[in-house]
Amino acid sequence: MTDQPTQETLANLSREERRFEPPAELAAHANLTAEAYARAEADPEAFWAEQAQRISWAQPYEQVLDWSNPPFAKWFVGGRLNAAYNCVDRHVEAGRGDKVALHFVGEPLGDTRDLTYAQLKDEVSQAANALEELGVEAGDRVAIYLPMIPEAIVAMLACARIGAPHTVVFGGFSADALASRIEDCGAKLVITADGGYRRGAASALKPAVDEALVKLGDEGPVEHVLVVRRTGQDVAWNAKADGGVDVWWHEVVGESSTEHVPQAFDAEHPLYVMYTSGTTGKPKGILHTTGGYLVGASYTHWAVFDLKPETDVYWCTADIGWVTGHSYIVYGPLANGVTQVLYEGTPDSPERGRWWDIIEQHEVSIFYTAPTAIRSFMKQGREIPDARDLSSLRLLGSVGEPINPEAYVWYRSVIGGDRTPVVDTWWQTETGAIMISPLPGVTAGKPGSAMTAIPGVGADVVDDEGRPVPNGSGGLLVLTRPWPSMLRTIWGDDQRFVDTYWSRFKEQGYYFAGDGAKRDDDGDLWVLGRVDDVMNVSGHRLSTTEIESALVSHPKVAEAAVVGAKDEDTGQAVCAFVILRETAGDGGADIVAELRQHVRKEIGPIATPRQVMVVPELPKTRSGKIMRRLLRDVAENREVGDVTTLADASVMNLISSGLGAGKGED
Ligand code: WT7
């Protein structure tokens, strides 16, 4: 255990007195009302069985939950279904084919495209046929590395339709990160684009795929690369002696039939693998399966956002490269038959009011984004959103990191016109769906608190021995019973799955989330952040170890230690301490810029350290473990805490004096 919430943070939080009651109108017609909590608690499996009715099953299940071999769960045992059919075809069959599924908004002004459910069905069917033609079969893995364009959603659903688990890699990740994910799950096909539009320019994607393929070598798993033409940028074309590697999406998908019969798969058939950072250098491939995941995504999207599919226009600003995009752009919203906005670019392109223009233009009623974005808008000033008509909004959501009370109140009052509830939703890649959140028609919201587990979910805050802490105290966040959208394992590594999540509270059978939390005097939950060597930068999870390995792969670096330090804009920021090799001398004048660039290239721009500090020593315990707590003190400009377990107590003086001499931030 590295960090427990300090008494100071706990005390600060308990000073928050503001409460926001649900609007009367919303409460009167809420999808879920207060009785759901007790009903779900009395018989969770019966409650989940009720939620499973939201989904169309090709064959009904025989058992809600098989928990005979924990922590390996099976939900909706014996049931068969097709996820793509549930997200697309069934809405068309029900006569809603002309309803807009996606209002696509490209970053270049005026580059828009609406797709109805009927059109989406045709495109998904074409892509499914094309994938099969390229030799992809049920069970084969497909990597998707695409910008936020409709083809990304079509590609995911086409995979789901033929039972080929997808692994979407965020377009901001480097060629190395892409290659390691392709390799880990053995993807046979990569779906990418020439590029996408970001910050007013075409930004290439295909070269990273080319580079990843070179890294994977001739024996690599990839047989084909399917390339969407988005920007018209030049692309290098790869071919193997025995046939084409690269193929154009518009040629292969565009030429395929729009007829495709979806086959039903077992409820536990793998739907996707999403890589996320853990405490080691190797990312974890989180495996989600079909039935339980779809039930969880659909139920939570309906309950937490109080979704009225007939009238709402929904917009989630996440990227499909993260789990939020999977559950709350693709599977939840589409299973619920909603109309939603899909936006390709950055919030400030071509100018800072772009998001608010989109809300005004499409009359968005439910909006879901991250605290880091809200904080950056706060900085820009309320004049920008105030100049737009945001009166269509009726509900706001937040996800990715704790939302500080100031940001919550600003979000509610400036964006939501003081009308809209804010739902602060806690969940993880592993949980697949929202676990802790207010219910907008029930809960009186407290700025900064995710409040309570939603009906069906069991959450608790416990001490190191797994005993629930009393109200007013802090501890570790756990989930107390299995839930349908839970991860089933880590791809190819059952043991790591058991060790990471289920061994700490084995006796109690709790899922250990890796977050610290507080239960306040009313019993409501405040999530405080990670208690392991994982950082949260702009709502994205990064591993300290992964960045450390990237740094030591640089020829001038002997040793590196990375910590997440508090940051006003991004929640946490990456701060790196490095010891240079003797042969590198002082590293040269540009050493800091050089190392930042190196990490950017190895992992991706989000991992770029805010600070790189060249130091003569690192603080270590006698057993050689780096004491990141002390480095965090330095990075956050605090007085350095208890150093008694250091092997060499003078190290911290060395570091501090070295920094005083001027090496540091660039
Ligand atoms: C970690 C999960 C959930 C999708 C986006 C991130 C932190 C997430 C909240 C919240 C406080 C939050 C936790 C969690 N986190 N939402 N509402 N309040 N913390 O998914 O990359 O799997 O990260 O994000 O630390 O463990 P992820």
pLDDT tens across 332-362, in order? 999 999 999 999 999 999 999 999 999 999 9
CA distance 320 to 198: 15
What pLDDT sits at residue 545? Answer: 87
| pLDDT tens digits, one per residue of 446-497 | 999 999 999 999 999 999 999 999 999 999 999 999 999 999 999 999 999 9
What pLDDT sits at residue 242? Answer: 60
Per cent of the chain over pLDDT 70 is 96
Kindly tell me if the per-residue pLDDT of 662 is higher than 50: no
Q: Is-contact 531 3, C-beta < 8 A?
A: yes
CA distance 86 to 64: 19
372 lines ligand 1 (CB under 6 A): no
402 lines ligand 1 (CB under 6 A): yes
Domains of the chain, by residue range, sit at 1-30+440-531, 538-658
How many other C-beta atoms can be found within 10 angstroms of the C-beta atom of residue 229?
A: 15
Mean pLDDT for 218-247 is: 89
Nearest CA to ligand 1 atom 5: 400
CATH class of 1-30+440-531: mainly beta
Nearest CA to ligand 1 atom 16: 400
Q: What are 632's two structure tokens?
A: 């965090």
Q: Which residues contact 303 (CB under 8 A, 6 or more apart)?
A: 31, 32, 36, 439, 454, 455
Q: Pairing state of beta strands 540-543 and 534-537?
A: antiparallel
Mutation to probe ligand 1, out of 319, 326, 428 (largest number of atoms < 8 A from CB): 428
H helix and E strand count, the chain: 23, 32
Higher pLDDT, 654 or 518: 518
Q: Tell me which residue of 418, 358, 411, 351 sits closest to 388, measured CA to CA.
A: 358
103 lines ligand 1 (CB under 6 A): no
Kindly tell me if the per-residue pLDDT of 4 is higher than 70: no
| pLDDT tens digits, one per residue of 617-642 | 898 888 778 888 889 988 888 888 88
328 lines ligand 1 (CB under 6 A): no
| pLDDT tens digits, one per residue of 535-553 | 999 988 898 988 998 999 9
Q: Please state the CATH superfamily assignment of the domain spanning residues 538-658 in this structure.
A: ANL, C-terminal domain (3.30.300.30)
Q: Could you identify the residue written with the tokens 């190395």?
A: 176
| pLDDT tens digits, one per residue of 294-304 | 999 999 999 99
What pLDDT sits at residue 278? Answer: 84
Higher pLDDT, 631 or 269: 269
Single-letter code of the amino acid located at 416: G
Q: How many CA atoms within 13 Å lie on the side-chain side of 195? A: 16
Q: Say which DSSP state 468 is in.
A: B
The three-state secondary structure class of 352 is: coil
| pLDDT tens digits, one per residue of 597-617 | 999 999 999 999 999 999 998
CA distance 524 to 460: 10
536 lines ligand 1 (CB under 6 A): yes
Q: Is-contact 367 396, C-beta < 8 A?
A: yes
Q: Which residues contact 505 (CB under 8 A, 6 or more apart)?
A: 462, 466, 478, 511, 512
Q: How far is the centre of ligand 1, averaged over its atoms, from the C-alpha of 354 (Å)?
A: 26
pTM (2 decimals)? 0.92
Kindly tell me if the per-residue pLDDT of 661 is higher than 50: no
Q: Tell me which residue of 557, 556, 559 sits closest to 545, measured CA to CA.
A: 559
How many other C-beta atoms can be found within 10 angstroms of the C-beta atom of residue 307?
A: 23
CA distance 285 to 143: 12
514 lines ligand 1 (CB under 6 A): yes
Q: How far is the centre of ligand 1, averaged over its atoms, from the C-alpha of 539 (Å)?
A: 7
